[in-house]
Amino acid sequence: MRKVFLIFGTRPEAIKLAPVIRQLRIRNGKFKSVVCVTAQHRQMLDQVLNLFNIVPDYDLNIMTDNQDLYHITIKTMEMLQGVLRDEKPDIILVQGDTTTSFAASLGAFYFKIPLGHVEAGLRTYNKYSPFPEEKNRHLLSVLADFHFAPTSWARRNLLQEHVPEDRIWVTGNTVIDALMEVMNNQKAENKRKYLYSYFKEKWGLTLSNNNNRMILVTCHRRENFGEVLRNICFALKEIAENRPGVNIVYPVHLNPHIQKPVNKTLGAVPNIHLIDPLDYEHFVFLVDRSHLILTDSGGIQEEAPSLGKPVLVMRNVTERPEGIETGASKLVGIDKNKIVAETQHLLDDEQTYEKMAKALNPYGDGRSAERIADILEEL
């Protein structure tokens, strides 16, 4: 039985590794999966663990108030050392580009344990955008032995960096697996009634499909703190004032660098609804009922095309250009006037909207975790 050690610390990692964990556990005793969480993001991580019924074997619980990248890196490596020494896994799996993943990859290297990287090969080739994720994933590719690339584009990036071709597999992105599972669970009538009721009672939101052409906003990236975030907030305010019949819903990240400027600029705008961060189940329901999405996030660029929701990406570069190439998303940058113009164009031009909504989703078919487990069996 091959021992697979999976380590993660944030909500996106947990969402994307949950289908892999499930696949490993149903493989008739071929794998022993050991789950270790750092809890780099405590509350948001726990929500996903509960949703997918994952009970960690190790919880390093490193999160502290006002933590920084130094703390996350050093604390993860310090606490992981003893765990890896005791467990002696056959392979370590990490996901994506977080500081937890980078620190764990360095730990794997120090113990000479083979490392598999799920969602390998994403690149902007801009060292500080996104920060620190771009350099995290680049360094991960240097240390990894097995590269599970979500798309052919990601595979090409790895090949250009001289990663051996026989160590790269195009699997699709496991987030689509997780999304399909959650969407399937939401088909039940009692589940849908509960979700409608939740948003009505907690936030005063009456949701239906494309209700009032609702715009969903997510904006939390570290490199957008400060002036960029204020620009984005002014853009949202102008859109709301120009389109009073449109509701804008913004789950606001708990980070004070986000909370303060967002509440100051948008708190009094009647058709902008600032709500608390949502767990994944509620967030997926909200995405499915939105008309379009404004985001600086990575994951939602992958999820939204599966649900037919056009995405305007409020960044200057993206490591997920496949959606832009197929037309499912559009890079609008961080200029206030450009964000306002592109959003209003999508609201007004039905033909452009339909073209984006019906674009092909290039990120997966819901079988990515199955492919990864198959590969691990063959290695």
Domain count, the chain: 2
Q: Is 222 a known active-site residue? A: yes
What letter represents residue 140's amino acid? L
**pLDDT tens, position by position, 81-92:** 999 999 999 999
The answer on 8 and 152 residing in a single domain is: yes
Q: At residue 191, does pLDDT exceed 90?
A: yes
Q: Is 59 a known active-site residue? A: no
Residue 181: inside a domain: no
Q: Is 97 a known active-site residue? A: yes
Q: Answer for the pair 141, 121: CB distance below 8 angstroms, yes or no.
A: yes
The answer on 132 and 21 residing in a single domain is: yes
Report how far Cα 176 is from the mean position of its chain's Cα atoms.
11
The answer on 135 and 278 residing in a single domain is: no
The answer on 340 and 250 residing in a single domain is: yes
Give the model's pLDDT for residue 21. Answer: 98
The answer on 200 and 344 residing in a single domain is: yes
Give the model's pLDDT for residue 64. Answer: 82
Residue 180: inside a domain: no
Q: The domain spanning residue 106 has which CATH number?
A: 3.40.50.2000
Give the model's pLDDT for residue 237. Answer: 97
Of the candidates 253, 279, 335, 367, the residue annotated as catalytic is 253
Residue 179: inside a domain: no
The answer on 341 and 194 residing in a single domain is: yes
The answer on 18 and 147 residing in a single domain is: yes
59 band by pLDDT with thresholds 50, 70 and 90: very high
The answer on 306 and 216 residing in a single domain is: yes
**pLDDT tens, position by position, 275-300:** 999 999 999 999 999 999 999 988 89
Residue 156: inside a domain: yes
Give the model's pLDDT for residue 42. Answer: 84
Considering only CA atoms, which of 340, 344, 300, 347 is closest in space to residue 323?
A: 300
Q: Is 119 a known active-site residue? A: yes
Considering only CA atoms, which of 223, 244, 356, 230 is closest in space to residue 292?
A: 356
**pLDDT tens, position by position, 227-281:** 889 999 999 999 999 999 999 999 998 788 888 999 999 999 999 999 999 999 9
Of the candidates 87, 133, 296, 342, the residue annotated as catalytic is 133
Residue 18: inside a domain: yes
Q: Answer for the pair 242, 215: CB distance below 8 angstroms, yes or no.
A: no
Q: At residue 364, does pLDDT exceed 70?
A: yes
The answer on 221 and 126 residing in a single domain is: no
Structure tokens at 356: 């984006």
The answer on 276 and 249 residing in a single domain is: yes
Residue 182: inside a domain: no
Q: Tell the burial category of 329 from Cβ atoms under 10 Å away from its Cβ (0-12, 13-18, 19+).
A: buried
Structure tokens at 233: 């907030």
Give the model's pLDDT for residue 209. Answer: 57
The answer on 306 and 229 residing in a single domain is: yes
Q: At residue 210, does pLDDT exceed 80?
A: no
Of the candidates 22, 147, 155, 220, the residue annotated as catalytic is 220
- β-bridge partners, 58: 36
Of the candidates 13, 87, 97, 302, the residue annotated as catalytic is 97
> Sheet holding 311-313: strands in order across?
272-275, 248-251, 215-218, 292-295, 311-313, 329-331
CA-angle at 163, arms to 157 and 166, nearest 5°: 110
Q: Answer for the pair 16, 175: CB distance below 8 angstroms, yes or no.
A: yes
Residue 5 to residue 53: CA distance in whole angstroms: 17
67 band by pLDDT with thresholds 50, 70 and 90: confident
Q: What integer is the mean pLDDT of 94-110?
A: 96
DSSP labels, 71-101: HHHHHHHHHHHHHHHHH--SEEEEETT-HHH
The pTM score is 0.92
Residue 169 to residue 220: CA distance in whole angstroms: 31
Give the model's pLDDT for residue 152. Answer: 97
Q: What integer is the mean pLDDT of 108-122?
A: 98
* Distance (Å) of CA 159 to CA 62, 162, 187, 212, 258: 35, 5, 41, 46, 37
**pLDDT tens, position by position, 166-179:** 999 999 999 999 99
Q: What integer is the mean pLDDT of 310-329?
A: 94
Considering only CA atoms, which of 69, 65, 110, 94 is closest in space to residue 4?
A: 94
Residue 216: inside a domain: yes
Of the candidates 222, 230, 257, 367, the residue annotated as catalytic is 222
Residue 173 to residue 367: CA distance in whole angstroms: 9
Considering only CA atoms, which of 120, 133, 113 is closest in space to residue 174?
A: 120
Range of the domain at 236: 188-357
Of the candidates 13, 87, 119, 342, the residue annotated as catalytic is 119
Residue 178: inside a domain: no
* Distance (Å) of CA 136 to CA 99, 332, 360: 7, 25, 29
28 band by pLDDT with thresholds 50, 70 and 90: confident
Q: Answer for the pair 27, 373: CB distance below 8 angstroms, yes or no.
A: yes
The answer on 126 and 61 residing in a single domain is: yes
Q: At residue 212, does pLDDT exceed 70?
A: no
H or E stretch covering 331: strand 329-331
Give the model's pLDDT for residue 41. Answer: 79
Provide, rounded to the nearest whole percent, the portion of the chain with pLDDT above 90: 84
